[in-house]
Structure 1
Amino acid sequence: MKFADEFKNAVTPRAAILVIGVLALQLLFIASYVGALHSPKPKDVPFGVVAPLPAVAKQAEQRLSKLPGSPLDPRVVSDEKTARHQIMNRDIDGALVLDPRGTQDTLLVASGGGTVLSNALDTITIALETPQKRTVRTVDVAPASPQDFDGLSSFYLVVGWCVGGYLCASIMTVSSGSKPASPHRALIRLGTLALVSFAGGLGGAALVGDSILGALPGSFWALTGLGTLVTLSVGALTLALVELTGIVGIGLAVLLVVVAGNPSAGGAFPLPMLPPFWKAIGPWLPPGAGTWVARSIAYFEGNDVTSALLVLSGWAVAGIAVALLVAWLRAKRGGDAEAAAPASPAPASPAGGVR
Structure 2
Amino acid sequence: MAEHKSEPESGEGGTSSLGATVRTLAQTLWFPAFFFTGFLVCYLLPFHNPVPHHVDVAVAGPSAGQLEHALEQKSPGSFDIHQVADADAARDAVTNRDATAGFVPDAKSPQLFVAKADGYSLESVLQKTFTSVAQQSGGQLKMQDVAPTAPGDGMGTGLFYLVLACTIPSYVSVMMLLRATTFGRRKKVATFVAVGVVESVVAFFVARGMDVIPNEPLAIPLVFLMTQAVALTSYGLVPFFKQFFPGVAMGLFVLLSMPSSGGAIPVQMVPGFFRALHPIMPMGNLIEALRGLFYFDSKDIGRPVMVICAWVLAGIALILLGAWKDRRAERKEAAEAAEPEPPVEDPSFELPQPAAVAPHTHRMGQQEPTLTGMVTDERGHPLQGVAITVTGTQGRELVRAITDEHGEYAASGLPDHFVNVIASSPDRLAAVARVLARDGHPARQDFRLAPRHAAAHTAGV
Partner in structure 2 of residue 177 of structure 1: 181
User: How many equivalent residue pairs?
Assistant: 330
Instruction: Tell me the secondary structure at the aligned position of residue 284 of structure 1.
Output: coil
Mapped contact 2:93–2:102 kept (Cα < 8 A) = no
Show the 5 A alignment for 1:21-32: 21-32=31-42
Q: TM-score, normalised by structure 2?
A: 0.66
Which residue identity is paired with 1:121? L
Structure label with greater radius of gyration:
2
The answer to whether residue 51 in structure 2 is matched with residue 41 in structure 1 is yes
Shift of 1:140: 0.4
Mapped contact 2:34–2:247 kept (Cα < 8 A) = no
Change in 2 beyond 3 A, CA 1:15/1:314: farther
The answer to whether residue 211 in structure 2 is matched with residue 214 in structure 1 is yes
Mapped contact 1:187–1:324 kept (Cα < 8 A) = no
Mapped contact 1:94–1:110 kept (Cα < 8 A) = yes
Show the 5 A alignment for 1:57-206: 57-99=64-106, 102-173=107-178, 175=179, 177=181, 185-206=184-205
Mapped contact 2:261–2:284 kept (Cα < 8 A) = yes
Query: Quick one: percent identity of the two aligned structures?
Result: 25
Within 2, Cα distance between the matches of 1:225 and 1:83? 33
Shift of 1:166: 0.4
Which residue identity is paired with 2:93? Q
Partner in structure 2 of residue 182 of structure 1: none
Shift of 1:64: 3.9
Within 2, Cα distance between the matches of 1:257 and 1:213? 26
302-311 or 195-204, which deviates more = 302-311
**The one of 234, 237, 249 aligned to 2:233:** 237
Within 2, Cα distance between the matches of 1:46 and 1:323? 41
Shift of 1:14: 6.3
The answer to whether residue 302 in structure 2 is matched with residue 306 in structure 1 is yes
Shift of 1:98: 2.4
Within 2, Cα distance between the matches of 1:312 and 1:2? 61
Q: TM-score, normalised by structure 1?
A: 0.85
Structure 1 gap segments, 5+ residues each: 180-184, 345-349
Q: Which whole-Å deviations, capped at 9, do the CAs of 1:253-291 have from their partners, x for residues lacking one? A: 111111111112112210111111111112311221122
Partner in structure 1 of residue 363 of structure 2: none
Mapped contact 2:103–2:112 kept (Cα < 8 A) = yes
Change in 2 beyond 3 A, CA 1:57/1:244: same
Mapped contact 1:61–1:76 kept (Cα < 8 A) = no
Change in 2 beyond 3 A, CA 1:256/1:14: farther
Shift of 1:318: 0.5
Partner in structure 2 of residue 335 of structure 1: 331
Which residue identity is paired with 2:322? V
Mapped contact 2:229–2:311 kept (Cα < 8 A) = yes
Mapped contact 1:241–1:250 kept (Cα < 8 A) = no
Which residue identity is paired with 1:219? E
252-261 or 303-312, which deviates more = 303-312
Shift of 1:135: 1.5
Which residue identity is paired with 1:314? A
Mapped contact 2:64–2:81 kept (Cα < 8 A) = no
Change in 2 beyond 3 A, CA 1:15/1:188: farther
Change in 2 beyond 3 A, CA 1:2/1:329: farther
Instruction: Tell me the secondary structure at the aligned position of residue 57 of structure 2.
Output: strand
Within 2, Cα distance between the matches of 1:133 and 1:68? 21
Query: After the TM superposition, which segments of 4 or more aligned residues of structure 1 sit over 6 Å from their partners?
Result: 1-5
Change in 2 beyond 3 A, CA 1:201/1:176: closer
Partner in structure 2 of residue 323 of structure 1: 319
Partner in structure 2 of residue 273 of structure 1: 269
Within 1, Cα distance between the matches of 2:7 and 2:124? 62
Instruction: Tell me the secondary structure at the aligned position of residue 228 of structure 1.
Output: helix
Within 2, Cα distance between the matches of 1:268 and 1:69? 24
Structure holding more helix per residue? 1
Within 1, Cα distance between the matches of 2:165 and 2:261? 13
Mapped contact 1:172–1:178 kept (Cα < 8 A) = no
Structure 2 gap segments, 5+ residues each: 338-431, 433-454
